[in-house]
Amino acid sequence: MSDIRFAAIRTGQAISRARIPQVPFDEFRQTVVAAAAEGRRVAALFGDASGPPGQVDLYAVLADGVRSLLHVGQTPIEVGEFAALTPDCPQVHLFEREIAEQFGIVPAGHPWLKPVRFHASYRPGCDAWNRSGAGPVVGVLDFYRVAGDQVHEVAVGPVHAGVIEPGHFRFQCHGERVFHLEISLGYQHRGVSRALVGGPKKRTVHLLEETAGDASIGHATAYCQIVEALAGTQVPIRGEVVRGVALELERLANHTVDLGALAGDVGFLPTAAFCGRIRGDFLNLTALICGSRFGRGLVRPGGAAFDIDETRRVQCLERLDAAVHDVESAVSLLWNAASVQARFEGTGAVSIETARALGLVGPAARACGLEHDARQDFPSGIFRFVQVPVSVSLSGDVLARAYIRWLEIQRSAAFIREQLHSLPAGPVRREVAPLGSGQIAIALVEGWRGEICHVALTDAYGCFSNYRIVDPSFHNWAGLALALRDQQISDFPLCNKSFNLSYCGHDL
Amino acid sequence: MIQALLARLRQGHRTLAYPKGVPTLPDRFRGLPIVDSSRCPADCRDCANACPTDAIAIDDRGFRLDLGRCLFCTDCVEACPDGLIRHSQEYRLSVRRREDLVYDGRTLKLAEALDQKTRRIFGRSLKLRQVSAGGSGACEADLNVLGTVVFDMGRFGIQFVASPRHADGIVVTGPVSENMRTALLDTYAAVPAPKLVIAVGAEAISGGIFRGHDEVHDGCGALLPVDLFIPGWPPHPLTILDGLLRLLGRLEEPGQTA
């Protein structure tokens, strides 16, 4: 990577778009493929049609976690197709499908080129599948099929049995055994990316909070870091602490309920019942700080909209200790129950090679032994000063994904305690200057599901000409599909819950 | 086994006394906004202009806030130059008719119970099928919470079921994305009559923050006959439970908040 021509920037930094080198497509492709082969990740790969008519520029953001650097490069595509990167770099498979769907250009040679969200092309008249007439119909496509007399197909969704978001799952089974699972989403598509163009507007920050409702803090933080980078605003340290505490409370709430749900999926009811309640205790801690259980309205450009005053700080600490004590008693039952261990262990295993090839992020990647954690690799906010140890496991199965959650619960609790004990003085928020024009900014935040990546391009007026959101689920859904290979179909709920990915974060 | 029992002992009894007693909500809880519009300076539109979902209208009919669009955020509170808007602790927000959500800043007409015949059918056992139609996961999370030991809506005979065939109604979340329209209508059609439709959250009622997007239908009201509107972003679990119990006529208290 030493001779790489891409521009190197850090998370939460903005540079002039003119500084992003425009390279010929072959070099662009080669750089991305080589970087992935050397163990870097493709954090984002997207198209941009704000240039000359008929031209789509491809941007790639390569994440080098060892040096905390993001390498950005760009290449113009002037014809209707380009040579797909996916055959040589599987982790971009969904990015390329997204580019094809949004801009109607074809990644030629893509092994599984299908729509992602089932919407019309952003460029009328340019459709990657040459569809015409009425708009695309969600879920109508050919699924991967395994042929044979004894093979049967199981279709699940979009409406599921539980109180969860919609998506379609298509299993190719031989008896109970799953040969292949194909996941077809897009049902939740609400037009988030399109609505962000031209911002920031009065709706923008709220849209980000609703991008993935259970990760409001994570997405709002990434958005605010983008705005602050573009405006050159520095957040007061107390504001950074409040944001960091909120981010870890979000992690605590979600990890706790997932452990409870995993227990429920194997019929271990004590932990299921306890954790469902304790999640509420963590949500209520967030509500104690800002009034909303999901942290809506807390993270705002320039810092935090609510302060943690002294009484609140003391109350927070007391209630945190009680909730952590409860979660400890609830979760330790899991590790001591042979019936639970027998169901978790070896189920839905993903190898480290697969995880790396797919570019998995978050707990799902760490469960396979990949030490990716944006809080360590690309520290921003308070995490520049305080290191949270990275939790890693090796077996890549449901047990590992569950155990990672437990390790992270303990470490997030310790972090919050430490921060609240030494809350720095000063304001929590600062005025934000107007946004710089003709810039690119990137923010990486370790949400509870993994790396949340936002990339913004601004126009000559300092408005977003393009705003990309890469939810961790976008990388990880393929991980779930591969985790199901050779598993029993009855283990699907367990595997699914161990990933617990966002549908709307993927569908945007 | 002994560990499970000890843990059970430690975790204790956590079900709320509600509806006999109402739990304390956090002091910053953003419930029903109270607006002292009598003191509004003439021609001031700062709150209306700040509102991300254009929920506020001020004209010759006075101040009106559409709770069906309200995100219960603080943008109007911060925008008001005279500090005339504040959030109260009032968590009771559900209504039966869409127009009842258009609120003058002082009194809100809460949901009335179902008629006696329907109450005889659903009053002691209400099975609901939830459909997320573009919901972000937050509304869904606070619906799930109703099943935990804290709210335990099973004690009122209310339960979420897996199949629409087993359900007495559907609970809709999300702005109804175009890509979920067919699935939502199919699910509704699969519920045997008589059946209820309950819209939970700003998105399901009005499209919320996605209102006006080509990709959504601005809530389920245009597609389905809604029997109960539960506003919020997302609504607090107590707000949802209050709405459900009010609908079933299981709360004995006046139907108006002030």
Per-residue model confidence (pLDDT) at position A177 = 95
pLDDT band (50, 70, 90) for residue B253 = low
Cβ(B256)–Cβ(B107) under 8 Å?
yes
Provide, rounded to the nearest whole percent, the portion of chain A with pLDDT above 70.
99
Per-residue model confidence (pLDDT) at position A118 = 92
Cβ(B123)–Cβ(B249) under 8 Å?
yes
Average pLDDT over residues A209-221: 96
Q: Class of A199-471 per CATH?
A: mainly alpha
Stated as kind and residue range, the H or E segment containing A479 is helix A472-483
Average pLDDT over residues A322-339: 94
- Residue A434 buriedness (CB in 10 A; 0-12 / 13-18 / 19+): exposed
Per-residue model confidence (pLDDT) at position B19 = 87
Q: A323: helix, coil or strand? A: helix
Size of interface A-B (CB pairs under 8 A): 175
B15 touches chain A (CB under 8 A): no
DSSP letter for each residue of A205-271: HHHHHTTSGGGHHHHHHHHHHHHHHHHTPPPPHHHHHHHHHHHHHHHHHHHHHHHHHHHHHTT-HHH
Alpha-carbon dihedral A81, A85, A90, A91, rounded to 10 degrees: -90
Average pLDDT over residues A295-306: 96
Beta bridge partner(s), residue B200: B230
Per-residue model confidence (pLDDT) at position B258 = 47
Per-residue model confidence (pLDDT) at position A131 = 84
Residue B194: is the preceding peptide bond cis (ω within 30°)? yes
Using CA atoms, how far apart are residues B43 and B55, in angstroms rounded to an integer? 17
Same fold, A7-108 and A199-471: no
Fold of the B116-257 domain:
Rossmann fold (3.40.50)
Euclidean distance between the first and the last CA atom of chain A, given in angstroms as a whole number:
33
Per-residue model confidence (pLDDT) at position B256 = 58
Q: In what order do the strands lie in the sheet with A168-174?
A: A151-156, A168-174, A177-184
Count of residues making up chain A: 508
B1 touches chain A (CB under 8 A): no
Q: Enumerate residues 275 to 314 of chain A having a beta carbon within 8 A of any beta carbon in chain B.
A: 276-277, 279-280, 284, 287-294, 296-297, 305-306
pLDDT band (50, 70, 90) for residue B23 = confident
* pLDDT tops 70 at residue B80: yes
For A298, the token pair is 């807390």
Count of residues making up chain B: 258
For A253, the token pair is 């709430």
Q: Where are the domains of chain A?
A: 7-108, 199-471
Q: Enumerate residues 138 to 157 of chain B having a beta carbon within 8 A of any beta carbon in chain A.
A: 138-145, 147-150
Average pLDDT over residues A147-165: 90
Average pLDDT over residues B149-171: 94
Stated as kind and residue range, the H or E segment containing B116 is helix B116-122
Q: Residue A464: which of A99, A200, A122, A179 has the closest Cα? A: A200
Per-residue model confidence (pLDDT) at position A268 = 94
For B130, the token pair is 């939830």
Q: How far is CA B50 from CA A12, A56, A298, B104, in A?
A: 27, 35, 17, 18
In the 8-state DSSP scheme, what is residue B37?
A: G
* pLDDT tops 60 at residue A464: yes
- Residue A140 buriedness (CB in 10 A; 0-12 / 13-18 / 19+): exposed
Q: Which residues of A touch B50 (CB under 8 A)?
A: 202
- pLDDT digit string, tens, across residues B183-210: 999 999 999 999 999 999 999 999 999 9
Backbone torsion region of residue B244, taken as left when φ is above 0, otherwise alpha when ψ lies between -120 and 50, otherwise beta: alpha
For B191, the token pair is 């519920």
Q: What is the mean pLDDT of chain A?
A: 94
Per-residue model confidence (pLDDT) at position B164 = 94
Q: Class of A7-108 per CATH?
A: alpha beta
* pLDDT tops 60 at residue B95: yes
Average pLDDT over residues A178-207: 95
- pLDDT digit string, tens, across residues A94-136: 999 999 999 999 999 999 999 999 998 998 888 888 887 667 8
Using CA atoms, how far apart are residues A112 and A103, in angstroms rounded to an integer? 17
Cβ(B111)–Cβ(B245) under 8 Å?
no
Using CA atoms, how far apart are residues A379 and A121, in angstroms rounded to an integer? 36
Taking CA–CA distances from B167, the nearest residue in chain A reads A161
| Nearest CB to B26 within list A207, A284, A329 | A284
Cβ(A309)–Cβ(A315) under 8 Å?
no
A319 touches chain B (CB under 8 A): no
B206 touches chain A (CB under 8 A): no
Q: What is the largest CA-CA distance in chain A?
A: 71
Distance of CA A429 to the CA centre of its chain: 26
Q: What is the ipTM of this complex?
A: 0.94
- pLDDT digit string, tens, across residues A411-453: 999 999 999 999 999 999 999 999 999 999 999 999 999 999 9
B145 to A289: CB separation less than 8 angstroms, yes or no: no
Nearest chain A Cα distance for residue B116, angstroms: 29
Distance of CA A417 to the CA centre of its chain: 26
- pLDDT digit string, tens, across residues B97-146: 999 999 988 889 999 999 999 999 998 999 999 999 999 989 999 999 99
Backbone angles phi, psi at A397, to 5 degrees: -100, -175
Average pLDDT over residues A251-256: 96
Q: Where are the domains of chain B?
A: 116-257
Using CA atoms, how far apart are residues A306 and A241, in angstroms rounded to an integer? 12
For B145, the token pair is 């919470």
Using CA atoms, how far apart are residues B224 and A42, in angstroms rounded to an integer? 43
Hey, of B78, B215, B238, which one would you mutate to test binding to chain A, going by the most A CBs within 10 A of its CB?
A: B215
* pLDDT tops 70 at residue A1: no
* pLDDT tops 90 at residue A223: yes
Q: Residue B101: which of B246, B224, B201, B1 has the closest Cα? A: B201
pLDDT band (50, 70, 90) for residue B254 = low
Q: A327: helix, coil or strand? A: helix
Nearest chain B Cα distance for residue A330, angstroms: 7
- Beta strands A81-83 and A106-108 are parallel
Using CA atoms, how far apart are residues A463 and B58, in angstroms rounded to an integer? 30
- pLDDT digit string, tens, across residues A376-411: 999 999 999 999 999 999 999 999 999 999 999 999
Q: B158: helix, coil or strand? A: strand
Q: Residue A367: which of A493, A498, A271, A252 has the closest Cα? A: A498
Q: Residue A193: which of A265, A56, A98, A291 has the closest Cα? A: A98
Beta bridge partner(s), residue A21: none
Q: Which amino acid is at A385?
A: F
* pLDDT tops 90 at residue A473: yes
pLDDT band (50, 70, 90) for residue B43 = confident
Cβ(A350)–Cβ(A479) under 8 Å?
yes
Nearest chain B Cα distance for residue A439, angstroms: 26
Per-residue model confidence (pLDDT) at position A438 = 95
Using CA atoms, how far apart are residues B3 and B9, in angstroms rounded to an integer? 10
